Structure formats: C-alpha cells, structure tokens
C-alpha cells in the first residue's frame, strides 16, 4: 500500500480540531502508521518547506509553521497521496469543495489546517524528516 505524510498545522491544533481531523482520517480508510506532536523551530520549518524558499509567502509560511505545535503522521492506504489531497481540498478554503477538511476547518490560504505530501517521492522525504526507520515498524 502507498503512504503519505500529513500534518495538522498549528491553527488546526490550536483551534481544537485535531480530534475531528483524526476521526476523519480513520473514516477515510487510512491506517495511522506513525504519529507525533512536535513544535518545529523556525529553522526546521524552513528546512521542511525549502522547496518554497523562492515564493513570496515563504517567510510568513515558516513563521506560522513554527508558531505552535503540529501533529505529523504517516498514513497508509491505497492511493494515499492523491486520496488525502482530495480529502483536504484546495489550498485556499474559499476554493475548497464542500466537506473537505480545509473547507471545514481552515481559516485562510496560509492558515489552512493541514498539509499533505504532493507525490510518493516527497512523501518518503517528508516521512524521513519526522520519523526514524524504527518508528515505522
């Protein structure tokens, strides 16, 4: 089966929506293979989002991601990467489809409740950022 790396971002943790988001994860047929709650330093947030370093919102994104704890998890399911992206919806909650996680819980394009890897290859890189091989047993 495929896996993806997801985060509940600081806004989602702060507003008390983690439990509802985790329930949705299980309703969608994902298995939680690993999970932790951590607070990223600014440097760690910059490293995680280094592909976006040239984008105008990079500074804002990294300081937001370091503003409070996140919940990171590895989810397993058939077609995990694409299915999670379908479940979370568009980056901007104003454009997200009804009943998607971002439509339900996101505040704005920046503070948008959740993250999901955009490819199987990036899922591997992002999973290794948060978890050691031992934690995947």
**Minimum CB–partner distance for residue 101 and ligand ATP (Å):** 11
Positions touching ligand ATP (CB under 6 A) are 52, 57, 60-61, 91, 109-110, 112, 115-116, 118
Q: Indicate the residue among 34 and 115 with the shorter CB distance to ligand ATP.
A: 115
First to last CA, the chain: 15
- CA–CA separation, 85 and 69 (whole Å): 22
Kindly list the distances between the CA atom of residue 82 and the CA atoms of 34, 73, 122, 124, in Å, as whole numbers in the listed order. Answer: 19, 16, 12, 15
- The residue among 45 and 134 lying less far from ligand ATP, judged by its C-beta, is 45
- Of the candidates 62, 114, 115, 117, the residue annotated as catalytic is 115
User: Any catalytic annotation for residue 115?
Assistant: yes
Q: Which residues are catalytic?
A: 115
């Amino acid at each position: 089966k495929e896996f993806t790396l997801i985060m509940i971002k600081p806004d989602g943790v702060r507003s008390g929506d983690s439990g509802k988001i985790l329930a949705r994860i299980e309703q969608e047929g994902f298995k939680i293979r690993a999970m932790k709650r951590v607070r990223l330093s600014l440097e760690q947030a910059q490293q995680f989002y280094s592909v976006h370093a040239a984008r105008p919102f990079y500074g804002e994104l990294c300081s937001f991601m370091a503003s409070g704890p996140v919940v990171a998890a590895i989810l397993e399911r058939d077609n995990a990467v694409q299915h999670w992206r379908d479940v979370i919806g568009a980056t901007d909650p104003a454009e997200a489809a009804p009943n998607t996680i971002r439509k339900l819980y996101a505040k704005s394009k920046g503070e948008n409740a959740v993250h999901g890897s955009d490819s199987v290859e990036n899922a591997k890189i992002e999973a290794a950022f948060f978890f050691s091989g031992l934690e995947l047993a």
